Amino acid sequence: MKPTILDCTKAELCAAITPSFRAKQIFQWIYSQYVDDFDAMKNLPQTMRTTLQERYDIMPLHILNKEVSSDGTIKYLFALRDGKTVESVLLRMKEAQYDSNGELLHHAKYTVCVSTQVGCKVGCSFCLTAKGGFTRDLCAGEIVAQVLALKKDNNIAAERRLNIVYMGMGEPLDNLENLAKAITIFSDEDGLAISTKRQTVSTSGLSSRIDQLGAMNLGVHIAISLHAVDDTLRSELIPMNKAHNIASIIEAVKRFPIDTRKRVMFEYLMIKGKNDDRSSAKKLVKLLHGIKAKVNLIYFNPYEGSTYERPSKASMVAFQEYLIAHGLLCTIRDSKGMDISAACGQLKEKTDQEMR
């Protein structure tokens, strides 16, 4: 199997081809013109097009299934070249706005949630992806391709910038090298030009890797899937917590180079009867003391076979009010895509069943 050219940073491509200035043109064809055939790159000499074709593929995945929610959320299942599958989600954060004369005031705003691994080693007890175990890391090109495919499929103009969250299948920091490379490729001005400030790495809390990511100084944000305030419950929800406990995560966050205008996002998955009470809210306030933090409360989205339950709206609101009253920023995440298989791993599971 040939490597995908999407796996190359522009610097790598410059080093691989002669003359090197052609790398910029190739990037523009792929990421601005959405061309997926080297032969269509008309400003390249024929000999170079032939060489590229011999050496590389372009897209390393194709759309296998997709579900569109009534709120505009679109969930994709992509097939990779080895037949493995991963999910990505396109979230429509804001609709386009027009004035009374039909002139465009604001473009629609999108966030793309991408996968970094096929399966996952972390084994969170509430996660369907975890149930299938770990298969392999995605290469950087396979991470990049998800966003490119979503932009193409939705006719999102090349110049429209998106936000990216590394929050799909897999633990991004367990695939740090390829993640860092994908971040660099995404932010290339001749590529998709998605600034690192628009990219958020969401981690289940591999504290030593948070330090490694911080040392790379890429300028990305981090979000921590905290979910619990004591190690016993957190280890039940996220077994890896035994090796990377809450205290070690909080210390790593304090060391992470954070843009002074930004806050660290702490994701808190509310599960009925497990972590949605007042005493958990109190402990959370104490734990985050001294960190410029924002807490995002997430409704647990039950799936077939799960033993956990969705909390009531009243308990979510009470929890939020307590945090706000004690000086924390706190939001309740929109349950976007509630009418489709929106939780990580659900569309894959459903498609696998249909294909059996």
Mind telling me the catalytic residues? Answer: 87, 344
Query: For residue 226, which of 288, 164, 279 has the smallest C-alpha distance?
Result: 288
Contact between 59 and ligand SF4 by CB under 6 A: the answer reads: no
Nearer to ligand SF4, 127 or 138 (CB): 127
**Positive/negative CA dihedral, 172, 173, 179, 184:** positive
163 binds ligand SF4 (CB under 6 A): no
**341 in contact with ligand SF4 (CB under 6 A):** no
Supply the DSSP symbol for 185. H
Among 344, 347, 349, 350, binds ligand SF4 (CB under 6 A): 344
Q: Does residue 204 touch ligand SF4 according to CB under 6 A?
A: yes
Residue 127 engages ligand SF4 in binding (rule: CB under 6 A): yes
Stretch binding ligand SF4 (CB under 6 A), from 2-10, 164-172, 182-190, 294-302: 164-172
CA distances from 342 to 88, 117, 161, 332 (A): 10, 18, 23, 16
Q: Is the dihedral of CA 230, 232, 237, 240 positive or negative?
A: positive
DSSP string for residues in 278-293: HHHHHHHHHHTTTS-E
Q: Report the relative pairing of strands 221-225 and 199-203 from DSSP bridges.
A: parallel
Measure the CA–CA gap between 269 and 118, rounded to whole angstroms. Answer: 23
For ligand SF4, which is the closer residue by CB, 23 or 342? 342
- Taking contact as CB under 6 A, which single stretch among the options 116-124, 273-281, 290-298, 320-328 is the one that binds ligand SF4? 116-124
Residue 137 backbone phi and psi in degrees, to 5: -75, 150
Stretches 67-75, 101-109, 121-129, 280-288: which one binds ligand SF4 (CB under 6 A)?
121-129
User: What's the closest the beta carbon of residue 130 comes to ligand SF4, in angstroms?
Assistant: 3
Among residues 59 and 342, whose Cβ is nearest to ligand SF4? 342
| Near ligand SF4 by CB under 6 A: residue from 41, 91, 113, 120 | 120
**Structure tokens, 161:** 């910038």
3-state secondary structure of 222: strand
What is the contact surface with ligand SF4 in residues (CB under 6 A)? 120, 122-124, 127, 129-130, 169-171, 204, 344
